[in-house]
Amino acid sequence: MNTTPARAAGSGGTALDENYAKNLQRATLASSIGSALEYFDFALYGLATALIFNVLFFPQGDPAMATVAAFATFGVGFVARPFGGLFFGMLGDRLGRKIVLVITIVLMGGASTLIGVLPTYEMAGIWAPILLVLLRLLQGFGAGAEQAGATVLMAEYAPTARRGFFSALPFIGIQAGTLLAAVVFSLLTMLPEEALMTWGWRVPFLASFLLIILAVLIRSKLEETPTFVEMEKREQVSEHPLRELFRNGFPGVLVGIGLRMAENGGSYMFQGLALSFFVTVVGPEADKGLLTWGVTIGSLIGVFSVPFAGALSDRFGRRAVYRAGALFMLVYSLPAWWMLTLGNHALAIAVIAIGIGFAVATMLGPQCAMLPELFGSRHRYLGVAMAREISAVLAGGLAGVLGAYLIAITDANWLVLGLYMTVLAAITVVSTFLVPETLRRDLTRTDDAVKISSVEAGDDVWLNGSQGTGASAVSARTSFTVDRTPVSADER
């Protein structure tokens, strides 16, 4: 029996159809609000890191090193994310998707709100950056499972034939949150310098509390996903998802990390690092407020381009669309960073907007369905969380710290930053050739789409213990294999 959400919705008559439609709508809204809050906080933190935190929370003997230290606190949040993904990912696979999404939104949003009441370095000395780091750790710990949960929730709710489109809809929240942060920060920079540095920067962090209340109210009314309900009926819920992930899902995690390098790293480089780079190159003449409109416009474009890319992946496949975005970033990286050195504000805004709205968004669209499709249902939440959050450390977190350090030691050499982004894009391009096509995969399946297999005398021998033992397994040739299970007619 194959019970995908789409089929479940249509198998019980009009009443079940209406109930499914309401839950699909509620799931989309619940996921979108969480995504908006997460990326509002992270984009706001990134913008504040480059322009405010480096001044208020660190000693100013060496401004360049103060910026590096500020970006280090930005990166600390990414270090905490895999641990949050590990902890909450296991809970999500054991207890269900819904309860974990309520917990993570409260933890993540609460930490962000408390940042708004922190004392500065002038007020509290060394305790100021210490408290900032602690709250950043809590923020990252909650965020480590938030986006993975939203991704899994929507993929398991979405109709099979349009999973790419529906799974991408909550990720409008990513663009909306980034857009809101950019708009708010642009408005804040219009304040007098003294007002901005004393109380103005605190306002948007404190306002996170409103989004928390809204998200909790919506998520508390959400029903569990059809996939997890079906797992409970079949008594397939895993008691040890971490053990299963290491035994069966590790190849999927590795491929998922590679897929995220360009998307995640490129996103944070364009959102935060590009601003710091431009200000360093141009100097006092740089208009900080004007430049944030690049992030604003790019996020506004992403509101449309992310679901459009998701819809394209329903038609042409996840890999083709993902690879197109990665190739675009590959050829765009060097020209983009060179154009930032020209000191033209309008050109810099366009560079950032194109990077976020097209290069990053084209990968993000198909990724929303692709990552959940890589993993079996028993460890899907944990698998997606690990792929997302380990890549967030390697790409997003490292991009800020390493990028700021490279700017400082190379005197803002554009070629070094351009090559760095090129490497991230190249890793993702290669990864698209390692991942199987997961279009319309049945999400009630317990096996993974990417497997480590052995081939001897033309036979597949799984190295996870289900088939193949003894000498035949030892002497076999190890390789990645692609799930080529045909799609049934009613899933198309």
Does the residue 356 lie in any domain? Answer: yes
Q: What are phi and psi of 189, to 5 degrees?
A: -70, -10
> Does residue 386 share a domain with residue 238?
yes
Does some domain include residue 444?
no
Return all residues near 459 (Cβ < 8 A) that are at least 6 apart.
none
Amino acid symbol at 1: M
Alpha carbon distance 147, 189 (integer Å):
29
Residue 262 and residue 121 in one domain: yes
Q: Are β-strands 450-456 and 477-482 bridged in parallel, bridged antiparallel, or unpaired?
A: antiparallel
Among 37, 146, 135, 130, CA closest to 81: 146
Domain co-membership, 407 together with 455? no
**Could you give the number of structural domains in the chain?**
2
Q: Are 361 and 455 in a shared domain?
A: no
In the beta sheet, which residues pair with residue 462?
Answer: 453
Residue 440 lies in a domain: no
212 lies in some domain? yes
Inside any domain, residue 135: yes
H helix intervals, 116-207: 121-124, 127-157, 163-168, 172-188, 193-195, 202-206
Look over the chain and give the mean of its residue pLDDT values, rounded to a whole number: 81
Is residue 438 in some structural domain? no
Whole-prediction pTM: 0.77
**Do 41 and 118 have their domain in common?**
yes
Q: SS3 of 63, please?
A: helix
The neighbour count for residue 466, using CB atoms within 10 Å, is: 11
Determine the pLDDT at residue 258.
96
Instruction: Give dist(CA 138, CA 235) in Å, integer.
Output: 34
Task: Summarize pLDDT for 411-437 with one digit per residue, the tens.
Answer: 889 999 999 999 999 999 999 999 999
Q: Are residues 402 and 464 in the same domain?
A: no
Answer yes or no: do 395 and 480 share one domain.
no
Distance CA 377, CA 445 (A): 6
Chain segment 67-96, per-residue pLDDT in tens: 777 777 777 777 788 899 999 999 999 988
Residues 412 and 467 in one domain: no
Q: Are residues 45 and 102 in the same domain?
A: yes
Burial category of 155 from C-beta neighbours within 10 Å (exposed 0-12, middle 13-18, buried 19 and up): buried
Q: Is residue 461 a part of any domain in this protein?
A: yes
Note the pLDDT tens digit of each residue in 311-339: 999 999 999 999 999 999 999 999 999 99
Is pLDDT of 301 > 70? yes
Residues 378 and 476 reside in one and the same domain: no
Of 65, 66, 64, 34, whose CA–CA distance to 53 is shortest? 66
Question: What confidence category does residue 50 fall into, taking pLDDT thresholds of 50, 70 and 90?
Answer: low
**116: in domain:** yes
For 3-12, letters b (16+ CB in 10 Å) and e give bbbbbbbeee
Cα within 13 Å of Cα(155), Cβ side: 33
Q: What is the residue range of 341's domain?
A: 5-432
Residues 168 and 198 in one domain: yes
SS3 call for 456: strand
